[in-house]
């Protein structure tokens, strides 16, 4: 790949530093949902489950950074309903895998795809599919370069950004798509990012013409989704992998039930995700 040096957003370093802090670098106060974000789901997602009192319990959950907004809202809703303290660490897949392996603690891993659970499978007791993770080709608003599909990314005047193939599932998808469409050696790669949400920002700032990104992260006013079927075969599923460290946790059992509730499903849907079922 031809590489052009560009400045990767400062957000990359901030997220990496926060993730590397492990359990001590959780969401502030363990519940950091933005009230404005709650409006996205209309705050109408009220669980019909019988709410147990879990005020003396807590959960440690690892979640892919690209899913922070919807998952934090789900975590907040569960804490409000049960009193269980929700400690959520957001990072890229590679960082989370390292934390799980080294710390030997935690209750769930909400991964960008089932493939990201495999490196820590010895620490997983079970998994349930939550929502589909749909990759799309994002371009600058108005598509000024007239991009029609993955093959166009091999043109010399088009600069593309992708997630880091070594640490993010969306980056792995991009690398595979380049190979499948025969543009690996001709694509002009402007940068790689350590988390998926940064990709839309880079394109929106005009530092690149296109990016392979998750559908739900392509919501900025300055980018749009290229209407192509090229990535239809790369759809993944977001799993909730239960870690062996919490096998006997009552709170983990209750959260497992909550994850399949209408309340949780409504939140995912409000953020543009399609349910796995």
Domain layout of the chain by residue ranges: 2-8+135-234, 31-133+237-275
Q: What is the pLDDT of residues 12-60, one digit of tens each?
A: 433 333 333 433 334 333 333 443 344 444 444 444 455 678 999 999 9
DSSP 43: T
Q: What is the pLDDT of residues 228-253, one digit of tens each?
A: 999 999 999 999 999 999 777 899 99
2-8+135-234: in CATH 3.40.190.10: yes
Nearest in space to 7 (alpha carbons), one of 219, 206, 221: 206
Nearest in space to 58 (alpha carbons), one of 73, 75, 38: 75
Mean local confidence (pLDDT), 192-212: 92
Best CATH choice for the domain 31-133+237-275 from the list 3.40.50.970, 3.30.950.10, 3.40.190.10, 3.40.50.620: 3.40.190.10
Rounded mean pLDDT of the chain? 85
pLDDT-derived band at 221 (thresholds 50, 70, 90) equals confident
Tokens of 90: 């957001």
């Amino acid at each position: 790949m031809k590489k052009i040096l560009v400045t990767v957003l400062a957000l990359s370093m901030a997220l990496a530093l926060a993730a590397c802090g492990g359990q001590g670098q959780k969401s502030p106060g363990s519940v950091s949902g933005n009230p404005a974000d709650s409006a996205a789901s209309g705050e109408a997602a009220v669980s019909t489950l019988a709410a147990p009192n879990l005020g003396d319990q807590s959960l440690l959950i690892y979640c892919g950074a690209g899913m922070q907004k919807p998952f934090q809202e789900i975590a907040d809703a569960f804490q409000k309903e049960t009193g269980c303290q929700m400690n959520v660490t957001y990072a890229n897949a590679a960082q989370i895998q390292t934390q799980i392996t080294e710390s030997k603690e935690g209750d769930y891993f909400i991964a960008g795809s089932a493939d990201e659970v495999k490196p820590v499978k010895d620490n997983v007791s079970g998994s349930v599919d939550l929502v589909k993770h749909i990759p799309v080709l994002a371009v600058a608003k108005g598509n000024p370069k007239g991009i029609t599909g993955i093959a166009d990314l091999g043109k010399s005047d088009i600069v593309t950004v992708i997630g880091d193939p070594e640490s993010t599932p969306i980056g792995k998808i991009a690398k595979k798509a380049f190979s499948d469409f025969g543009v690996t050696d001709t694509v002009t790669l402007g940068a790689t990012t350590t988390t998926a949400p940064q990709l839309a920002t880079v394109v929106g700032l005009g530092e690149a013409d296109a990016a392979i990104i998750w559908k739900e992260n392509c919501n900025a006013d300055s980018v749009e989704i290229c209407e192509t079927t090229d990535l239809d075969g790369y759809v993944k599923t977001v799993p909730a992998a239960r870690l062996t460290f919490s096998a006997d946790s009552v709170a983990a059992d209750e959260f497992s039930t909550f994850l399949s509730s209408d309340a949780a499903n409504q939140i995912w849907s409000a953020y543009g995700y399609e349910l796995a079922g």
